[in-house]
Amino acid sequence: MNKLKYDDATAITMAPGVSRRVLSHTPGLMLVEVTFASSAVVPVHNHPHQQISYIKSGRFSFTSNGESEEAGPGDSLAFASDVEHGVTCLEDGVVIDCFTPAREDFL
């Protein structure tokens, strides 16, 4: 079992108003907390990992394949490998992202 205490997980700035904290990971799976300030943007991007995003708090506008979807607390979204996606924060919040396999670029 791998255990990581929250206070030991380092917050890394991803973009202005956006920081991530790797909560736990194995080679095949990763859990990441992403904290957003209102109006912060993660530009459209893609990666080979499958991703599920769970909205813990706040409001967000997610874009994928040219379509936008607003999401709030309790909502979740899934993104297949290599699908372009991005997000704009509409109201300060936190998203919990799960990736498979783990994102080596986040370690």
Overall domain count for the chain: 1
The answer to whether residue 45 is domain-embedded is: yes
- Give the residue numbers spanning the domain of 42: 6-106
Spatial contact of 62 and 85, defined as CB atoms under 8 Å apart: yes
| CATH number, residue 35 | 2.60.120.10
The answer to whether residue 83 is domain-embedded is: yes
In percent, the amount of the chain with pLDDT more than 70 equals 100
The answer to whether residue 32 is domain-embedded is: yes
pLDDT in tens, 36-55: 999 999 999 999 999 999 99
Those residues whose C-beta lies under 8 Å from the C-beta of residue 13, and which sit 6 or more positions away, are: 19
